[in-house]
Amino acid sequence: MGFAADIRLSRGPVMSFMALGLFWGAFAASVPEVKRAAGLSDAGLGLALLVATLGAVAAMWLAPLLERRLGARALGWITGLAACGAVLPGLAGSPATFTLAMVAACAGYGLLDVAMNARVSALEAASGRGLMNLNHATYSLIYAAAAIAAGLAREWGASPLAIFGAVAVLSALAALYVLRVPAPAEPAGDEPGTSARQTDAPALSWPLVMSGGAIICLAFLAEQGTEGWSALHLERSHDAGAAAGAIGPALLGLTMGIGRLFGQVATRYLRESVLIRAAALIAAAGAALAAHAPQLGLAYVGFTIMGLGLSLIVPTVFAWAGKRIRARDRALMVSRLSVVGYTGFFAGPPMMGLLAEAFGLAASFTALALLLLAIPTALLPLMRRAAPDPIRR
């Protein structure tokens, strides 16, 4: 079985990952425009996104309950719900309306993130195939395409409403497709072939949740901080235009997609801890280069290196944890990992905004590099103790 068979096997969540990539790619490239339209300062934008974190975290916490209520069609309905919120940032014309729009949109996409990853984890268990990196690669590649398209649309004079309206329509079509894809059958008990370690595991391992969630948190903090502020950094520090500024988040998304396609193969031969350690060090080096590059071309190189490193961290942590949880508790594990980890997903842009207001964007990206170094030095050893590497002798 190759990539084509893996895509067919996970075609439902692949479409949901595409919907997620459409929204965040378009948002990343549109940040300068929506910021101006809403009349926000750097710190104001950061604080608005910080408030939006509350909606996302609450939605992620409740996601397992909603998923159980909706049953086999949960992923399709949640994708449709997220599509409804996609248009809201394009309607915002003041700080208050922008904040409310992002709270609603982030809540919908928070639900979607948990539902997608839980579905992929269930498909991995049912098929015995590693699918997490492939699905996350789909998000990254669509994110890159959406960032480029939104940047070009801005260059040609498109309004935020037109950009986010198009995202909403495409996401709604994705939701209709997902509703037609059958969900994997729910096992009566734990999957055949589950190891004794998994069978005897508690419903939820909090050491695993906290250590793995902290790694996801820092990775997403770096990813979303870059997605939300790389265009502004390029436009301010290197006098890039709208289209040239959009290349920053587009490069991040494109290289993360490429890196995750590599990870789809690499996880079959290498321990998860080895991949995470190497990826964090590479990402930190890229962030430092992007922060202090003396010219535009080197800044692009920095974002490219950063994307390659960040690409493997999050899906590898989800896959690592998913192997150590009972089938009936998988959505709960993904939800709790997400609540801890996705704090960084939404806290990254506000942190970048506050640092940019006080010290400039170069200092913000330097802070990202330093935070990423905490993954191999402190957090990874904790996760290895909570979830030892699978035996691959």
**pLDDT score, position 175:** 96
Question: Rounded CA gap, 380 and 254, in Å?
Answer: 26
Question: Rounded CA gap, 240 and 226, in Å?
Answer: 16
What is the secondary structure of 247-306 as a DSSP string?
HHHHHHHHHHHHHHHHHHHHTTTS-HHHHHHHHHHHHHHHHHHHHH-SSHHHHHHHHHHH
Domain boundaries, the chain: 8-184+201-386
**Tens digit of each residue's pLDDT (9 = 90 or more) over 1-34:** 577 788 889 999 999 999 999 998 899 889 888 9
Determine which of 16-30, 140-154, 246-260, 329-343 has the lowest per-residue pLDDT on average: 329-343
**Tens digit of each residue's pLDDT (9 = 90 or more) over 142-188:** 988 898 899 899 989 899 999 999 999 999 999 999 999 987 765 55
pTM beyond cutoff 0.85: no
Token pair, residue 117, equals 């990853």
The 3-state secondary structure of 36-91 reads HHHCCCHHHHHHHHHHHHHHHHHHHHHHHHHHHHHHHHHHHHHHHHHHHHHCHHHH
254 or 162, greater pLDDT:
162
Torsion of CA 381, 386, 388, 390, to 10 degrees: -130
314 or 386, greater pLDDT:
314
Domain 8-184+201-386 carries which CATH code? Answer: 1.20.1250.20
Determine which of 102-116, 297-311, 348-362 has the lowest per-residue pLDDT on average: 348-362
Average pLDDT, the chain: 85
Count other C-beta atoms under 10 Å from residue 86's C-beta: 27
Q: Can you say whether the dihedral through the CA atoms of 99, 53, 164, 108 is positive or negative?
A: negative
Residue 391 has pLDDT above 80, yes or no: no
Question: Rounded CA gap, 102 and 391, in Å?
Answer: 43
Token pair, residue 214, equals 């902290």
Determine which of 82-96, 165-179, 215-229 has the lowest per-residue pLDDT on average: 215-229
Token pair, residue 305, equals 């290196």
Question: Rounded CA gap, 118 and 106, in Å?
Answer: 18
What is the secondary structure of 179-207 as a DSSP string?
HHSPPPPPPSSSPTT--HHHHTS-S--HH
Residue 370 has pLDDT above 70, yes or no: yes
CA-to-CA dists, residue 181 to 227, 338, 354, angstroms = 31, 25, 43
**Tens digit of each residue's pLDDT (9 = 90 or more) over 261-309:** 988 888 778 888 899 999 999 999 999 999 999 999 999 999 999 999 9
